[in-house]
Structure 1
Amino acid sequence: MVDDVDRTHLRRCVELARAALDAGDEPFGSVLVDAAGRVRFEDTNHVAGGDATRHPEFAIARWSTEHLTPAERAAATVYTSGEHCPMCAAAHAWVGLGRIVYASSSAQLSGWLAELGVPPGPVRPLPIGDVVRGIVPEGPVAGPGEEVHELHRRFHGR
C-alpha cells in the first residue's frame, strides 16, 4: 500500500525527471531507499548521448551491487517516475532488489506516446510482473503520475 512516505519519494522522482528534461534528456528519475528510509542513490535518464541503456533504474541496479549486501538490496525500495522497462526490470531482479513503486505505468506511457504520434520503441512495454518473478510492483500513483504525463508532453512537444 502506497503511503505518504512513498509519495514523498515519488515526488523526488518527478523532480529528477524534470531535471532530466531540463538537461535535454527523456524525463525519467529514480531513487533507491534502504530499509531504514535513507536515500542511498538517485539518478535520471542519460540516453540523450546515444546509449539507450542509460536508464536510472539500471544505474540503481549496478550501484546497489557495489554498495549494498544482498540482504540490503532485498530490503530496499526503488521509486521511479515510470514503471521499469523490461531491461531495467530484469536488472532489478538479477541483482535482487526489493520493492518497486512507480508514478506512471508502461501502459500509460505507451498511450501518451501514441497520442503524441511517437512511434513505439524497439522493446515491448511489458509490465514488470510479466518480466520478473516474485515482485508485485505498486503503481501507478495518482498525482505524481499526472506530473510525469505533463513532462512527457513537454519532451515530445519540442
Structure 2
Amino acid sequence: MARFHIRRRCPLTAQFWFLGLDARQGDLTLRGFCKTPTPHGSSRYTLDGLSLHSAGLTLLLPGEPLHFNRRTQTFTRGGRTVPATEGRLHLRAALHTHETWIAARHGAAYREGLVALHRPPRPVMGALDPWRAFIGGLPGMPVWGVTVPLQSTAGSGML
C-alpha cells in the first residue's frame, strides 16, 4: 500500500478514508460507480464525471478537468496549480451528493459509527473537524446526527 504525506487539517484526508471504507463495503459500486482495475494501486471508481482512485481524484469540469493528487495534496487543472480553496469548492457538490446518498442509505450517524468502530489513524482524526465543516456546511447535509446550517462555516476558511 502506498504511503501518503497528508495534512491533518485537510478535509479530503478524512473524505478519502471514508471513501476507502465505502469501496471495501461495496457502497461505491452499489451507488453506481463503475469499478475499473488500474495497473497501479487500487481500482478506479467513476460516476458522473467524478473519478476516484487511492492516489487522488479527477472531476470533469467545463474546459479542463480538475485533478487532486492525494500524495502532494495539490489541485491542478490544465497543468496549472489551483489553490486548495478553489479546488475544494469545485468538489463540494460531488462529495455532498455522495455523502447525502451514504446518509440516506445508512443513517445520519453512520460516519460517526465508522470512526468509533475503526478508530482511524491520527492524520484522519485531525482532519475530521475540517471534514465536518466542509461537508456539513452544505444546506441540509446530515453529519454526525445533526443538520449543520450553511452559516456554520462562514469565515472559517474551510473550503
Q: Which band: TM-score by shorter chain?
A: 0.3 to 0.5
Provide the TM-score with structure 2 as the length reference. Answer: 0.32
